[in-house]
């Protein structure tokens, strides 16, 4: 009901008057398009859009809503040839303004509007240069109108990433136009508010989302470069948060060279972003082996990364996955054990599955995840019952690596504390794990499983004695052993690549807890 009333108001003449103005300020700053190259794919080979019917550009009935939004965000401008496309682009924009001068839900949604402002102002050689006076007046007017719209709607925007895009657009308008410092101030005010709300005391996102931290880093660097290029004073808090996010980027990407699949992350290639940072003179280092409750122990050949952190507050849990105490194990740049990744959009069932503990390399009690999620009216899965981690102990020595941590995710329902201890011995390439379940009061016959999800490229087979499993990954061979509990192979799903899935296999240990305290011992040896 609220959304219906909101749309009536946004389409009203009252709202149109509220966001309209007679501003005709000159552009004082024209940002370089290449500054967007960390966010927008900029083609090396440019194309042009000459010789087409301008009137039909926005009325093509063959375009679905997603295609129309992509056209309306104008990010395609970054791929156009400057010489041949300028006149055509300005005609397209002129037609867009004529058809969309007032708010409409199809082309004025928050994300699309933010991207459109950024694209128009980042491509002024196409959108503004050598234009006629009336066109420039209309262009300036619609820019300001859209900016007022963003300011009016930003508090109600549900998606954090869209809020950041909106803030960037508002700041850019303030930097670009004369006498519009109020937009810059307003944008910075919103940016401070977002950071205060979403960042923890260490400068990492409260959601514990690795991918989102990189997203924030890209936009904060972009905003900083706009300030720098326009010869405006760079706010100190932007530099401070770039440093903090840079520590995160160095820990999770620069040091690892692969994506750890925890809490909303997927496989990605950040090489182009690395090149972007190098061109602009940014260099981030982080030699710690623990950051924001993630542990990374590594040498030249082996990497062990583990999540030893608590679940976030439910407000920040939309992309959180119930993988506390799960780990990934990498040998010579290839994952042996990998978490299953995150399914973000489209299939709600896959999204729910990807958030479960069973899709991580961790112990599961009675087929239940360590956190309980509930779905709201927007199909968002947020935490209802979270968990805390404790008893954390990390040691990193030349001949022995060790990580120990516990969580209480099964305490409320099963009166159980789960503790995991993992050790690695580099000289003999041996990984040893002990998963422990503690209880003060015995609840008999509780089923448990421990899953070890394998790289989809790995080949596995049981040995004849059925007491171990052989793993082949490229030219390497590994043997997985568990002597005191049942061990088997199961098929699974891998969501490592965004919003797609393939089949993989997992090793699983299963058993029944019928004592107060039990230890499940397992090991992985290179052969």
CA distance 403 to 424: 9
In the structure encoding, which two tokens stand for residue 422, read together? 């993992």
Determine what percent of the chain is predicted with pLDDT higher than 70.
95
* pLDDT at residue 344 tops 60: yes
Burial (CB < 10 A; 0-12, 13-18, 19+), residue 521, is middle
> Contacts for 21-24 with beta carbons within 8 Å, 24 or more apart?
21/141, 21/144, 21/145, 21/148, 22/141, 23/140, 23/141, 23/144, 23/177, 23/180, 24/137, 24/140, 24/141
Name the helix (H) or strand (E) containing 414: helix 411-414
Q: Domain locations in the chain?
A: 2-198, 201-290, 293-526
Mean pLDDT of the chain: 90
**Could you tell me the pLDDT band of residue 48, with boundaries at 50, 70 and 90?**
low
User: How confident is the model at residue 55, as a pLDDT?
Assistant: 60
**Could you tell me the pLDDT band of residue 524, with boundaries at 50, 70 and 90?**
very high
Q: Which residues pair with residue 420 across a beta bridge? A: 405, 435
User: How confident is the model at residue 50, as a pLDDT?
Assistant: 61
Per the CB < 8 A criterion, the answer to whether 433 and 421 are in contact is yes
Q: Which residues pair with residue 523 across a beta bridge? A: 432, 481
* pLDDT at residue 513 tops 90: no
Q: Which residues pair with residue 30 across a beta bridge? A: none
User: How confident is the model at residue 388, as a pLDDT?
Assistant: 95
Q: What is the mean pLDDT of residues 287-301?
A: 93
The matching CATH number, chosen from 1.10.3720.10, 3.40.50.720, 2.30.30.90, 2.70.98.70, for 293-526 is 2.70.98.70
In the structure encoding, which two tokens stand for residue 428, read together? 């003999």
Phi then psi dihedrals of residue 271, to 5 deg: -60, -40
> What are the angstrom distances between the C-alpha of 500 and each of 176, 184, 296, 491?
40, 39, 27, 17
Return the half-sphere exposure (C-beta side, CA atoms, 13 A cut-off) of residue 366: 15
* pLDDT at residue 42 tops 80: no
* pLDDT at residue 498 tops 80: yes
* pLDDT at residue 31 tops 60: yes
User: How confident is the model at residue 193, as a pLDDT?
Assistant: 96
CA distance 101 to 99: 6
- Identify which of 216, 214, 219 has the alpha carbon closest to the alpha carbon of residue 271: 214
**Residue 160's Cα: distance from chain center in Å?**
11
The residue count of the chain comes to 527
User: How confident is the model at residue 56, as a pLDDT?
Assistant: 64
Q: What is the mean pLDDT of residues 13-40?
A: 87
User: How confident is the model at residue 240, as a pLDDT?
Assistant: 96
Per the CB < 8 A criterion, the answer to whether 239 and 248 are in contact is no
Of residues 494 and 56, more confidently modeled: 494
User: How confident is the model at residue 54, as a pLDDT?
Assistant: 57
CA distance 267 to 101: 40
* pLDDT at residue 52 tops 60: no
Torsion angle, CA of 293/294/298/301, rounded to 10 degrees? 170
User: How confident is the model at residue 299, as a pLDDT?
Assistant: 92
In the structure encoding, which two tokens stand for residue 267, read together? 């496989």
- Identify which of 152, 423, 208, 459 has the alpha carbon closest to the alpha carbon of residue 324: 208
Per the CB < 8 A criterion, the answer to whether 425 and 497 are in contact is no
In the structure encoding, which two tokens stand for residue 80, read together? 């156009």
How confident is the model over 409-429, as pLDDT tens digits?
999 999 999 999 999 999 999
**Could you tell me the pLDDT band of residue 361, with boundaries at 50, 70 and 90?**
very high
**Could you tell me the pLDDT band of residue 44, with boundaries at 50, 70 and 90?**
low
**Strand arrangement, sheet containing 486-494:** 363-365, 446-453, 502-513, 486-494
In the structure encoding, which two tokens stand for residue 128, read together? 């503004």
**90-94, 131-135, 518-522: which is most confident:** 518-522
pTM of the model: 0.92
CA quadruple 25, 29, 35, 37: dihedral positive or negative?
positive
The 3-state DSSP class for residue 21 equals: coil
CA distance 56 to 45: 26
In the structure encoding, which two tokens stand for residue 178, read together? 């004369």
Which range among 9-23, 145-159, 175-189, 399-413 shows the weakest confidence by mean pLDDT?
9-23
**Could you tell me the pLDDT band of residue 282, with boundaries at 50, 70 and 90?**
very high
Q: What is the mean pLDDT of residues 99-118?
A: 93
Burial (CB < 10 A; 0-12, 13-18, 19+), residue 91, is middle
Which range among 10-19, 52-61, 125-134 shows the weakest confidence by mean pLDDT?
52-61
CA distance 475 to 493: 24
User: How confident is the model at residue 87, as a pLDDT?
Assistant: 83
User: How confident is the model at residue 425, as a pLDDT?
Assistant: 97
* pLDDT at residue 504 tops 80: yes
Given the structure tokens 């965000």, which residue do they identify? 73
In the structure encoding, which two tokens stand for residue 374, read together? 């509930």
- Give me Rg for the CA atoms of the chain: 26
User: How confident is the model at residue 108, as a pLDDT?
Assistant: 93
- Residue 137 has a CB neighbour count (10 Å cut-off) of 14
């Amino acid at each position: 009901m609220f959304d219906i009333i909101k749309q009536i108001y946004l389409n009203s003449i009252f709202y149109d008057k509220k966001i309209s103005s007679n501003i005709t300020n000159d552009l004082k700053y024209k940002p370089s398009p290449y500054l967007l190259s960390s966010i927008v794919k900029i083609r090396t080979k440019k194309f042009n859009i000459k010789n087409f019917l301008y009137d039909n550009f926005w009325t093509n009935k063959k375009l679905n809503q997603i295609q129309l939004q992509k056209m309306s965000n104008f990010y395609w401008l970054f791929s156009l040839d400057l010489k041949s496309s300028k006149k055509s682009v300005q005609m397209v924009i002129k037609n867009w303004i004529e058809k969309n001068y007032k708010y409409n839900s199809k082309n004025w949604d928050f994300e699309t509007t933010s991207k459109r402002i950024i694209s128009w102002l980042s491509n002024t050689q196409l959108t503004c240069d050598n234009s006629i006076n009336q066109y420039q007046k209309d262009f300036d007017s619609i820019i300001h109108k859209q900016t007022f719209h963003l300011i009016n709607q930003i508090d109600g925007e549900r998606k954090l990433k869209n809020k950041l895009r909106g803030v960037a657009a508002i700041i850019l308008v303030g930097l670009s136009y004369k006498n519009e410092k109020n937009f810059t101030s307003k944008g910075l005010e919103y940016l401070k508010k977002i950071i205060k709300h979403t960042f923890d005391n260490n400068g990492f996102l409260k959601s514990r989302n690795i991918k989102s931290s990189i997203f924030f880093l890209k936009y904060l660097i972009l905003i900083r470069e706009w300030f720098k290029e326009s010869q405006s004073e760079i706010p100190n808090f932007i530099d401070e948060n770039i440093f903090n996010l840079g520590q995160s980027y160095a820990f999770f990407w620069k040091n690892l060279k692969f994506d750890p699949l925890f809490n909303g992350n997927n496989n990605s290639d950040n090489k182009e972003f690395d090149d972007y940072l190098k061109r602009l003179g940014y260099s981030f280092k982080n030699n710690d082996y623990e950051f924001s409750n993630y542990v990374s122990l590594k040498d030249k050949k082996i990497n062990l990364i583990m999540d030893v952190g608590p679940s976030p507050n439910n407000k920040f849990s939309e992309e959180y996955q119930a993988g506390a105490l799960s780990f990934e194990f990498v040998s010579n740049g290839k994952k042996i054990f990998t978490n299953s990744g995150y399914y973000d959009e489209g299939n709600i069932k896959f999204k729910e599955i990807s958030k479960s503990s069973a899709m991580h390399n961790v112990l599961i009690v009675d087929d239940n995840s360590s956190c309980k999620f509930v779905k709201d009216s927007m199909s968002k899965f947020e935490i209802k019952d979270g968990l805390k981690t404790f008893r954390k102990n990390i040691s990193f020595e030349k001949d022995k690596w060790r990580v120990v941590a516990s969580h209480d995710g099964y305490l409320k329902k099963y009166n159980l504390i789960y503790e995991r201890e993992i050790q690695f011995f580099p000289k003999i390439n041996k990984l040893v794990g002990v998963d422990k379940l503690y209880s003060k009061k015995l609840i008999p016959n509780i089923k448990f499983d421990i899953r070890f999800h394998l790289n989809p490229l790995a080949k596995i087979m049981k040995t004849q004695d059925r007491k171990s499993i052989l793993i082949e990954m490229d030219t390497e061979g590994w043997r997985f052993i568990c002597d005191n509990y049942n061990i088997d192979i199961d098929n699974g799903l891998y969501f490592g690549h965004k919003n797609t899935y393939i089949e993989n296999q997992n090793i699983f240990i299963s058993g029944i807890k019928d004592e107060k305290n039990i230890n499940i011992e397992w090991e992985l040896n290179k052969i």
